[in-house]
Each structure stands twice: as structure tokens, then as C-alpha cells.
Amino acid sequence: MEVPILKQGPYLIASIQSALSDEDLVQLRDALVAQVGKLRSRGVIVDVTALDVMDSFATRTLRDIAHMIRLRGAEMVIVGIQPEVAFALVRLGLKLEGVATALDLEEGILYLNRKMGESGKEMKHRGR
Amino acid sequence: MGDDRNPKALRATLSSHSARNRADEAEAVHVSIKSDRDIIFARQKGKELASRLGFSNTDLTLIATAISELARNIVLYAKTGEVYLKTVKQGERRGLSVVASDEGQGIPDLQRALQDGYSTSHSLGLGLPGVRRLMDEFEINSELNRGTTVSVKKWVP
């Protein structure tokens, strides 16, 4: 099942609706990395609220996507990791190293806004 | 979705077990693993069986994640294999048994595969120590060029 990607101002929001096959995850990765360039997005939110299982492949692919998005010059944040999923990830020893996470969509947008603010300030600072 | 291809054959393999404890009404599902899509099917079936046993939501997620990893190892290392899900009883305890078996190349260094940090960090499947932590019981048999069978159990607390 393909993951819908919505454009919301400078951000892209990918809302995962159901369990994803490996193929779906790879497709999501390719779509996001391409869309970020096409729409000149500054940030990406991947909402995993509906995911009841995140195994090693899903975790690794999400981590890859986050790093690729950063290499493309944007920021990514994963939102909505459920308490049970967080517990399973910790037990399994899987880490989302270097990947931003936030509680939900709202917090994810706030996180990106803050990041954009920071980079704006930095630019101004450099300009002086 | 998915393929519960051979329910009759499954029931046949089961009957020998359930004959021993007819009162249990052991439930079982067999999922053939042939592609990554079957991984999702296997873990959904496992979750269904486990939820009927009364596991908490957290335990259901741990079980589904363990099944996902075991089925993934089959796809990654042996291409095809089988996952057997079965409700089990031991005295008053009830639980879920998951057996993942394949006829692949086997694991050359089992000791190492069971060590923490081996392969998990790169997430190239395996992750056997992680699966062990998700479940209550863990057993593995692997023979070079013959295949691998991992049996895990979780008991309803």
C-alpha cells in the first residue's frame, strides 16, 4: 500500500496508514527523497502512529530516509511511535540514531518550525 | 491478502499434538514464507492468536515483532521457509509458540549469531539476541546446508 505524501507549506507529511511491506517502505524512501527536491521542501514528517510493529527493516529504512533527507538539505522528524513499539525497539536493541522524533504531528511541526527558525538565525548571523 | 494456502495440511500436522491435550483446543496457524509480504501476514496471524490468549497490548507487539524478525531471517537467508504459530499450555500456563524453520544454508557461527551486537547494529536481519529478549523461551537448531529452526515461546503472565 502506497503511503500518501501531503504538502503542507514548506513541509512534506507522509502518513503511514497500515502495515508496510519492504517494497512499500523502499517506495516511500524514493518518493520522499525525490519530492523534497521537486517541491523544495524544508522539512519532512513521517507519521508512524498507525504502525503496530516496527522491525529491523522498517527501523533501518526510516533511519536511512532521515539521513538521505538531511543530505538533500532538509530536516526529517518521525512522529507517533507508539509506547508498545518503543518498548519492542528497545528490547530488540534497535536504535534510531541521529534521527529526530516527536510525540505527534503537532509536536513534529513545532520541531521543524524551531529548526527552520534556528537555520534562519544562523543565516542572519553569518550575514552580519 | 496473504495466503493460508493449505489449511487442511495444517490441521493434519496439528492433530497429533492436540490429540494429546484435547481439552486445550490448541489453535494453530501455519504460514509459508516466500516473500516479504508473508512476513506481515505471519505477524498479523500471530497477533490474532496471541490476543485470543489474553496477552496485553505490549506483549502482542513484542510477539508480533519477534515473528517479524524470525520471518525476515527466513526471507533474507533462506529465501523460503515456514512459520508455525500455536497456542500451548503447560499446567495452568497458557502461551504462544512460534517455530520458524527453513532449509537454508544454516548459520555458520551460531555462537556469534547469538551474541549481542552481531548483525543487529547493521540490521541485516538475524538479531537473534533481540528476539530472545522479546520472548520468554528461545531455542535454536542450525545445521550447515540443512537449515535452521528457531522455536520461541511467550507465556501469558
The beta-carbon neighbor of B36 closest among A23, A52, A91 is A23
Query: CB contact, 8 Å: A50 with chain B?
Result: no
User: What domain range includes position B38?
Assistant: 7-155
CA distance A1 to B79: 23
Q: Is residue B59 part of a domain?
A: yes
Report the pLDDT value the prediction gives residue B16, as an integer from 0 to 100: 46
**CATH number for region A5-127:** 3.30.750.24
Q: Any idea which residue has 492468536 for its cell?
A: B49
In sequence order, the β-bridge partners of residue B53 are none
- Output the CA angle A42-A79-A87, nearest 5 degrees: 145
Report the pLDDT value the prediction gives residue B1, as an integer from 0 to 100: 44
Q: What is the pLDDT of residues A15-70, one digit of tens each?
A: 998 999 999 999 999 999 999 999 999 999 999 999 999 998 999 999 999 999 99
Report the pLDDT value the prediction gives residue B119, as an integer from 0 to 100: 52
Query: CB contact, 8 Å: A33 with chain B?
Result: no
CA distance B126 to A43: 33
Q: SS3 for A99?
A: coil
- Looking at residue A94, the DSSP 8-state letter turns out to be -
Structural domains of chain B, count: 1
The count of other CB atoms within 10 Å of the CB of residue B64 is: 27
Q: Is residue B72 part of a domain?
A: yes
Query: CB contact, 8 Å: A92 with chain B?
Result: yes
Q: How many CB pairs under 8 A join A and B?
A: 75
Report the pLDDT value the prediction gives residue B23, as an integer from 0 to 100: 43
Cβ-defined contact of A53 to B65 (cutoff 8 Å): yes
The torsion of the CA quartet B57, B58, B64, B66, rounded to 10 degrees, works out to -160
Interacting residues of A37 by C-beta distance below 8 A, sequence separation 6+: A72
Report the pLDDT value the prediction gives residue A94, as an integer from 0 to 100: 86
Question: Which percentage of chain B shows pLDDT scores above 90?
Answer: 65
Q: Is residue B22's pLDDT more than 50? A: no
Q: How many CA atoms lie within 13 A of B72 on its CB side?
A: 23
Joined grid coordinates for residue A21: 511491506
Mean pLDDT across chain B: 84
Report the pLDDT value the prediction gives residue B125, as an integer from 0 to 100: 53
Q: Is residue B124's pLDDT more than 60? A: no
Joined grid coordinates for residue B54: 489474553
For chain A, the domains span 5-127
3-state helix, strand, coil split of chain A in percent (to 5) is: 50, 15, 30
Query: CB contact, 8 Å: A97 with chain B?
Result: no
Domain CATH number, residue B28: 3.30.565.10
Cβ-defined contact of A19 to B40 (cutoff 8 Å): yes
Average pLDDT over residues B36-50: 96
Task: Identify the sign of the CA torsion B34, B38, B43, B46.
Answer: negative
| Interface ipTM | 0.88
Q: Is residue B2 part of a domain?
A: no
pLDDT grade for A90, boundaries at 50, 70 and 90: very high
Residues of B in contact with A56 (CB under 8 A): 69, 72, 120, 123, 125, 127, 130
Nearest to A16 by CA among A27, B75, A8: A27
Cβ-defined contact of B61 to A88 (cutoff 8 Å): yes
Q: Is residue B6's pLDDT more than 90? A: no
Nearest-by-CA chain A residue for B128: A92
Test the B interface: residue of A82, A85, A92 with most B CBs within 10 Å: A92
Query: CB contact, 8 Å: B130 with chain A?
Result: yes
pLDDT grade for A126, boundaries at 50, 70 and 90: low
Q: Encode B7-76 in three state secondary structure.
A: HHHHHHHHHHHHHHCHHHCCCEEEEEECCHHHHHHHHHHHHHHHHHHCCCHHHHHHHHHHHHHHHHHHHH
CA distance B95 to B153: 7
